Structure formats: structure tokens, C-alpha cells
Amino acid sequence: MTKHNENSCENYELQLEDAAELSAERGEQIALSADLSQHVSNCAHCSEALEAISLSRSLLHAGFEPTSAPSPFFAKRVMAVIRAEEQRQASRGSIFWNPLEHLAARLAMAAGVVVMALTVYAYASSVSSSAVDSSSINAAAYELVPHQQLDPQPQSKDEVLMSLVERSNVERTNAR
């Protein structure tokens, strides 16, 4: 047996792994090429490695079976989970937007009420301002009348008595 040479053995390690792969594919014993076979028979390290391939394979086959096929309901279960998740996401979206929608509706209502109130206020204020305008016009007209055209204020009691007498005379004449 030759000594283990890391550099040359590294190359043979890959060849051994390839041989193991090929044998697994074909379900046969590991078959080595002439070159590899010669190296393995002369190299203790690679000879042990070849043994390790067989033993590890036996151990693993004894320990585990290939994973069994999925049940016929697996796909249906997956699709049911997907649908449920989609619904959950959709409802999560509406849970997020619902409060905002409520808030927006309330804001719109409040804005409507404010607009109505402003309209009423504006109408009322325009009506009252027109009333004020007419009274101010009257006042202006009143102010335009000269003081002397209006009834003069009595200066004394005699004038009051005289005016009463005059008024009764006028009424008597009118009655006739």
C-alpha cells in the first residue's frame, strides 16, 4: 500500500464519488475504472474511502426509507390553505381600511352640515342686511326732510293749547 498523497487522492475522491453515483443510479455494485481500481488497491486511504461508501450507504438505507408519496388530499389541503390565507389577507385589508372609510364618511357628513349652516347663515344675513338697508334708506329719507316741514315742537303750554284748538277746528270742518 502506498502512502496517502493528498493531491492525487483528491482527484480519486471525486472519481470514487462519481462511481458511487453511477452505481446508485444503476442499482449495482460500485464499479471502478482500471486506473481507479489500481489506485484503490495501492492506497489505504482510498481503499477505506471505498469501504466507507458501501458502509454509509448500508447504514442510511437501514435507517431511513424514502419519503412516502404525498396523500391524495395533499394538493386539496394546500389549495384550501391558500384560499383561507387569501381571504384572511383580504379581510385584513378591509380591517385596515374600514376605520378610514368610517372617518371619511363622518368627515363628509360634518362638512355637509357645515356647508348647510353656512348657506343658511349667509341667506339670513343677506335678508337682515336688506332690512337694515331699507330702514337706513328710510332714515336717510327722513333726514332729507327739512326740519321746518315737520311739525314744529311746541315751545310753551299756550302753543300746545292753541294747536289742540286748531286740530279740533280742522276735524269739525272735516266732519261737516
Partner 1 sequence: MLNVSGKVEKGRRTEAVENAAAQERQLVRRAQAGDVPAYEALLAKHQQRVFSVVGGILRRREDVEDVAQQVFVKAYFSLKRFDLRSAFSTWLYKIAVNECWDYLRKKKVRKLVYEADMSDEQNRQVLSINEQPFGALRSPEDAARRVEQQQLVERLLSELDEEDAAMLVMKEVEGFSVEEIGESLGINVNTVKVRLFRARGKLVEVYRRRMKGSTAAKAKKADGNP
Binding site for partner 1 (CB under 8 A): 13-14, 16-18, 21, 24-25, 48-49, 51-53, 55-71, 74-75, 77-79, 81-82, 85
Q: E strand or H helix at 106, and its extent?
A: helix 74-144
C-alpha cell at 82: 391558500
| 86 vs 159, beta carbon nearer partner 1 | 86
Contact 53, 32 (CB under 8 A): no
Q: How far is the CB of 25 from partner 1 (least distance, A)?
A: 8
Q: How far is the CB of 85 from partner 1 (least distance, A)?
A: 6
Encoded amino acid at 82, one letter: I
Contact 16, 46 (CB under 8 A): yes
Q: E strand or H helix at 83, and its extent?
A: helix 74-144
Q: Give the single-character DSSP code of 148.
A: G
Q: How far is the CB of 51 from partner 1 (least distance, A)?
A: 8
Q: How far is the CB of 29 from partner 1 (least distance, A)?
A: 14
| 5 vs 49, beta carbon nearer partner 1 | 49
| 37 vs 169, beta carbon nearer partner 1 | 37
| 79 vs 113, beta carbon nearer partner 1 | 79
Q: How far is the CB of 82 from partner 1 (least distance, A)?
A: 5
| 62 vs 131, beta carbon nearer partner 1 | 62
Contact 56, 73 (CB under 8 A): no
Residues 166, 160: Cα–Cα separation, whole Å: 10
Residues 21, 15: Cα–Cα separation, whole Å: 10
